[in-house]
């Protein structure tokens, strides 16, 4: 359930066909879509839910068949002003690949989404929930070489920084992309903000993740 507190609510409604209870039950599943083949990725609402949850909020939906649908996203209210960095919008298809990747993320929703995004772009993706599982996945992998690791920084049992230090001893050419939703102050002590370290802040969009992964693989 939602944590009690002050929230800012964003509501989006339409007057379309609405949804059945069966569709609503699967609405936020990655790759689930009611659109014709080739017309939708099924990642849009899954991405929205993940971003809202990473922000400490929650999202709800009310729909009636023949009347329309309303989504309500609740974000925790913050008092301090936020710095907004303008980023150019990149249009066009997302870059694809066939390399083998490892995604290490302790949040199940984020892990599922990240793996789904990269699999949709053609990659072979191994998934793990912490650094220890990540090391085991690498040891047990028998297929094509793992080219890149996408890992959260702070995780239970073993964090991303410790895991990658172990991996570098046996896979010196392995590319590493760190991710985190923590503040800069919280993760700076882990060294992932140092010069030359590749870092992607959470929440990220499917396009941002896909382009960053392709950029690192090509460099």
Give the pLDDT confidence of 155-172 residue by residue, as tens digits.
899 999 999 999 999 998
Confidence of residue 191 (pLDDT cuts 50, 70, 90): low
- Domain presence at residue 92: no
**What is the model's pTM?**
0.64
Same structural domain for residues 130 and 213?
Answer: yes
pLDDT higher than 80, residue 201: yes
What is the mean predicted confidence (pLDDT) over 24-31? 82
Query: Alpha-carbon distance 78 to 70, whole Å?
Result: 25
What is the mean predicted confidence (pLDDT) over 187-214? 81
pLDDT at 215: 96
- Domain presence at residue 95: no
Same structural domain for residues 168 and 128?
Answer: yes
Same structural domain for residues 11 and 118?
Answer: no
The pLDDT tens digits for 28-72 are 887 677 777 555 666 678 778 878 887 888 899 999 999 999 999
pLDDT at 110: 87
What range does the domain containing 212 cover? 100-218
The domain total for the chain is 2
Same structural domain for residues 42 and 115?
Answer: no
Distance spanning both ends of the chain, measured CA to CA: 44
CATH of the domain at 34: 3.30.565.10
207 contacts 94 by C-beta, under 8 angstroms: yes
- Domain presence at residue 133: yes
Query: Alpha-carbon distance 156 to 174, whole Å?
Result: 23
Same structural domain for residues 118 and 191?
Answer: yes
The pLDDT tens digits for 93-139 are 889 999 999 999 998 888 998 999 999 999 999 999 999 999 999 99
Give which of 115, 108, 101, 85 is closest to 206, Cα–Cα.
115
Query: Alpha-carbon distance 197 to 160, whole Å?
Result: 13
- Domain presence at residue 82: no
């Amino acid at each position: 359930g939602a944590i009690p507190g002050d929230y800012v609510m964003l509501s989006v409604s339409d007057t379309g066909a609405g949804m059945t209870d069966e569709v609503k039950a699967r609405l936020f599943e990655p790759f689930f879509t009611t659109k014709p083949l080739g017309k939708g990725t099924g990642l849009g609402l899954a991405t929205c839910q993940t971003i809202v949850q990473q922000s400490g909020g929650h999202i709800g939906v009310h729909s009636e068949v023949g009347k329309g649908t309303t989504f309500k996203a609740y974000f925790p209210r913050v008092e301090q002003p936020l710095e907004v960095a303008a980023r150019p919008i990149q249009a066009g298809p997302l870059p694809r690949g066939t390399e083998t990747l490892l995604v290490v993320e302790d949040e199940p929703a984020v892990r599922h989404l990240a793996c789904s995004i990269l699999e949709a772009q053609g990659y072979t993706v191994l998934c793990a929930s912490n650094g220890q599982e990540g090391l085991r996945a690498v040891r047990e992998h028998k297929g094509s070489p793992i080219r890149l690791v996408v890992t959260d920084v702070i995780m239970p049992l073993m964090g991303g920084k410790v895991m990658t230090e172990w991996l570098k001893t046996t896979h010196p050419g392995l590319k590493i992309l760190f991710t985190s939703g923590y503040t800069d102050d919280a993760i700076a002590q882990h060294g992932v903000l140092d010069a030359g370290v590749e870092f992607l802040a959470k929440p990220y969009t499917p396009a941002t993740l896909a382009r960053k992964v392709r950029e690192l693989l090509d460099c």
